[in-house]
Amino acid sequence: MLADELRTNGTANPRNDVTAESLQRLAAEQKTRKKWLLIQPKSQTSMMVDSGSVSMPLNLIMVATLASTLFDVTFIDERTGDEVPENFSGYDVVAITSRTLNASKAYKIGDRALAQNKIVLLGGVHPTMLHDEATQHCTSVVYGEIESVWNELAHDILRGTMKSLYRAQELRSMTAMQRPDFSFALNSKNAKRYSALIPILATKGCPVGCNFCTTPTVYGKSYRYREIDLVLDEMRYHQQRLGKKKVNFSFMDDNISFRPAYFTELLEEMAKLGVHWNANISMNFLHKPEVAEVAGRSGCDLMSIGFESLNPDILKTINKGANRLQNYSTVVGNLHNNGIAIQGYFMFGFDDDTDKSFQATYDFIMQNRIEFPVFSLVTPFPGTPYYEEMKPRLRHFDWDKYDTYHYMFEPRKISGERLLENFVKLQREVYKGRAIMQRMQGKPLNWVWFVNFMMNRFTRKLKPEFYL
Ligand code: B12
Ligand code: SF4
């Protein structure tokens, strides 16, 4: 099989002799530039995950940016309606990004490309976490970020001597990362399906260490950040490109507020630019009013916060030390006082969940007027400590169901049937017309209202069996 002919066993060793210059020389010696097809597969899940407008895939844009320094790159995002060709004859390398929910799709594409004798690369969180599995469907797996293994990987592609796994021994500093070239997404045929929010990255990693999250496994305890000037330059570039100050950015960081001093300094500088932004954030210091104040002043419209649960026993079992129940209402109050809406994430299906968990969550959301509550079912993702712990009890090993909207195991204190009944009921109650008015009255008439309206329609159709 070609995958085995092309690659040697074992992982990449760091090659200090390979530099950007030597790679350029090697590429120039080749008769023609090698051609890459980069693919973002659409998931096959039945839920709304990849429907409607989708965010520009920063991961693939970063891969494209780097690859295009040496190779010709074609960029395909199946979520926007781009079609993955059956025939890969126009390409030398087929490179696919994958999370768990689209892994089976990624593998199918990988198998097809292998059968056509292409170099197949699989990258992204799922191949990283399960590289032994992924390796069956590609020539090489890239573990974690491409930037940290690029020299070795590019060298081997140019030489045609692939290894089965590229894994960096050391992560590169974020300063060395190239500014993402958005033209790959913006010039694509179906670019109108992309949301107007521009993805941006300031930091990587999160040392909090929640046991259900993949980030601690991929990046360990490391927390890296870009120089603030680089982040601001990127923002200015988009302001110029779009000819307006009020550009909307969405931070893709795992936990942008982990280092308070960096975060607040970044926000102070952003306040001078007049941009708007949203981010995933952990609560570690949002109970301090001055942080919410600078966030509001710097243009934050919405913060996505993983409240996860209102049950203190659950917070303890998932190691979510940053979440202190006694701070929840203070955090919400501080953000609201500064005009920041909240997308609140809540998970159900933990062993300690009971009927009471649902009532407590409903009360919290309604009393604190959370604008955009999002509910999911606990999903132990492969490679996490939580997955190892729960493996004997898991109901599914079909990756299409790993979208956080499937019932994965029977909790100990409530039956599966009761869990799903409560789960559907809670969503319906929170998105009833009356409840929306109670949560949203007096708030700016913007897309958050629209989302509530859509959720009202969506939740009316929900049934417990959708989640089986
Ligand atoms: C921001 C974010 C979101 C955003 C934006 C997602 C988007 N469109 O990209 C939003 C809020 C929309 C979102 C939604 C969801 N997310 Co999310 N999200 C993240 C987060 C925090 C950062 C992702 C990111 O963009 N990072 C920055 C980019 C530049 O880094 P990167 O993705 O790691 O890419 C690098 C490498 O992986 C590598 N690479 C990637 N692809 C490839 C391909 C090749 C060929 C190569 C060589 C290299 C390579 O190089 C890249 C550049 O450095 C991650 C956590 C994480 N660190 O991965 C979770 C994460 C990806 N999300 C997760 C989940 C579960 C979801 C949802 C299912 C949640 C839900 N119920 O809605 C949805 C699914 C959306 C979808 N269709 O995929 C999980 C996925 C777990 C898994 N095993 O699949 C993660 C890992 C968090 C976790 N729980 O551990 N998410
Ligand atoms: S705080 Fe968020 S990003 Fe950090 S480990 Fe926990 S879930 Fe992952």
Identify the three-state secondary structure at position 184: helix
Q: How confident is the model at residue 93 (pLDDT cuts 50, 70, 90)?
A: very high
Q: Is the pLDDT higher at 53 or at 344?
A: 344
| Burial (CB count <10 Å: 0-12, 13-18, 19+), residue 466 | middle
The tens digit of pLDDT for each residue in 188-209 reads: 999 999 999 999 999 999 988 8
Residue 2 has pLDDT above 90, yes or no: no
SS (H, E, C) 380-439: CCCCCHHHHHHHHHCCCCCHHHCCCCCCCCCCCCCCHHHHHHHHHHHHHHHCCHHHHHHH
Give residue 214 CA to ligand 2 midpoint distance, Å.
Answer: 8
16 CB contacts (<8 Å, ≥6 apart)? none
Each residue of 97-106: b (16+ CB within 10 Å) or e?
Answer: bbbbbbbbbb
Q: Is the pLDDT higher at 11 or at 414?
A: 414
**Alpha-carbon dihedral 324, 361, 206, 338, rounded to 10 degrees:** -80
Which ligand neighbours the alpha carbon of 60 most closely? 1
d(CA 81, CA 50): 11
Q: Whose CA is nearest to atom 74 of ligand 1?
A: 49
Which pLDDT does position 283 carry in this prediction? 79
Residue 210 has pLDDT above 90, yes or no: no
d(CA 278, CA 301): 6
For residue 146 and ligand 2, the question of a CB distance below 6 A is answered with no
Residue 58 has pLDDT above 70, yes or no: yes
Average pLDDT, the chain: 92
Which pLDDT does position 221 carry in this prediction? 85
User: Per the structure block, which two tokens stand in for 344?
Assistant: 């609140």
CATH topology of domain 196-467: TIM Barrel (3.20.20)
d(CA 176, CA 186): 24
CATH topology of domain 2-166: Rossmann fold (3.40.50)
Residue 127 has pLDDT above 60, yes or no: yes
Domain boundaries, the chain: 2-166, 196-467
Q: How confident is the model at residue 48 (pLDDT cuts 50, 70, 90)?
A: low
Q: Which of these, 70, 219, 276, 44, lies nearest to 153 by C-alpha position?
A: 70
Q: Which of these, 176, 165, 158, lies nearest to 141 by C-alpha position?
A: 165
Q: How confident is the model at residue 117 (pLDDT cuts 50, 70, 90)?
A: very high
d(CA 206, CA 254): 6
Instruction: Locate the ligand 1 atom nearest the alpha carbon of residue 128 and give its number.
Output: 37
Q: Which of these, 123, 130, 127, lies nearest to 146 by C-alpha position?
A: 123
Identify the three-state secondary structure at position 315: helix
Residue 8 has pLDDT above 60, yes or no: no
For residue 283 and ligand 2, the question of a CB distance below 6 A is answered with no
Give residue 363 CA to ligand 1 midpoint distance, Å.
Answer: 31
Residue 276 has pLDDT above 80, yes or no: yes
Residue 46 has pLDDT above 70, yes or no: no
Ligand 2 pocket test target in 255, 286, 309 with most atoms within 8 Å of CB: 255
Residue pair 340/300 in contact (Cβ under 8 Å)? The answer is yes
d(CA 228, CA 242): 21
Give residue 306 CA to ligand 2 midpoint distance, Å.
Answer: 9
Residue 116 has pLDDT above 50, yes or no: yes
Residue 11 has pLDDT above 60, yes or no: no
For residue 216 and ligand 2, the question of a CB distance below 6 A is answered with yes
Q: How confident is the model at residue 4 (pLDDT cuts 50, 70, 90)?
A: very low
Ligand 2 pocket test target in 201, 204, 206 with most atoms within 8 Å of CB: 206
The tens digit of pLDDT for each residue in 305-346 reads: 999 999 888 888 876 666 787 888 899 999 999 999 999 999
Ligand 1 pocket test target in 51, 54, 59 with most atoms within 8 Å of CB: 59
Which pTM was predicted?
A: 0.94
Give the residue-averaged pLDDT of 288-315: 92
261 CB contacts (<8 Å, ≥6 apart)? none
Give the residue-averaged pLDDT of 171-198: 93
d(CA 291, CA 57): 29
Residue 183 has pLDDT above 80, yes or no: yes
Residue 155 has pLDDT above 60, yes or no: yes
Which ligand neighbours the alpha carbon of 378 most closely? 1
Which pLDDT does position 325 carry in this prediction? 78
Q: How confident is the model at residue 271 (pLDDT cuts 50, 70, 90)?
A: very high
Give residue 23 CA to ligand 1 midpoint distance, Å.
Answer: 29
Which pLDDT does position 14 carry in this prediction? 54
For residue 93 and ligand 2, the question of a CB distance below 6 A is answered with no
For residue 323 and ligand 2, the question of a CB distance below 6 A is answered with no
Give residue 388 CA to ligand 1 midpoint distance, Å.
Answer: 21
d(CA 237, CA 45): 36
Say how many C-beta atoms besides its own lie within 10 A of residue 56's C-beta.
23
The tens digit of pLDDT for each residue in 13-25 reads: 556 678 889 999 9
Give the residue-averaged pLDDT of 382-389: 94
Q: What are phi and psi of 411, to 5 degrees?
A: -70, 160
Q: Which of these, 371, 376, 341, lies nearest to 453 by C-alpha position?
A: 371
Q: What are phi and psi of 131, to 5 degrees?
A: -70, -25
Which pLDDT does position 354 carry in this prediction? 95
Identify the three-state secondary structure at position 284: coil
d(CA 38, CA 87): 14
| % of residues, the chain, pLDDT over 70 | 94
Q: How confident is the model at residue 280 (pLDDT cuts 50, 70, 90)?
A: confident
The tens digit of pLDDT for each residue in 217-250 reads: 898 888 999 999 999 999 999 999 999 999 999 9
Residue pair 65/178 in contact (Cβ under 8 Å)? The answer is yes
d(CA 292, CA 268): 12
| % of residues, the chain, pLDDT over 90 | 78
Give the residue-averaged pLDDT of 413-442: 97
Say how many C-beta atoms besides its own lie within 10 A of residue 76's C-beta.
21
Q: Is the pLDDT higher at 372 or at 212?
A: 372
Instruction: Locate the ligand 1 atom nearest the alpha carbon of residue 382 and give its number.
Output: 83
For residue 209 and ligand 2, the question of a CB distance below 6 A is answered with yes
For residue 208 and ligand 2, the question of a CB distance below 6 A is answered with yes
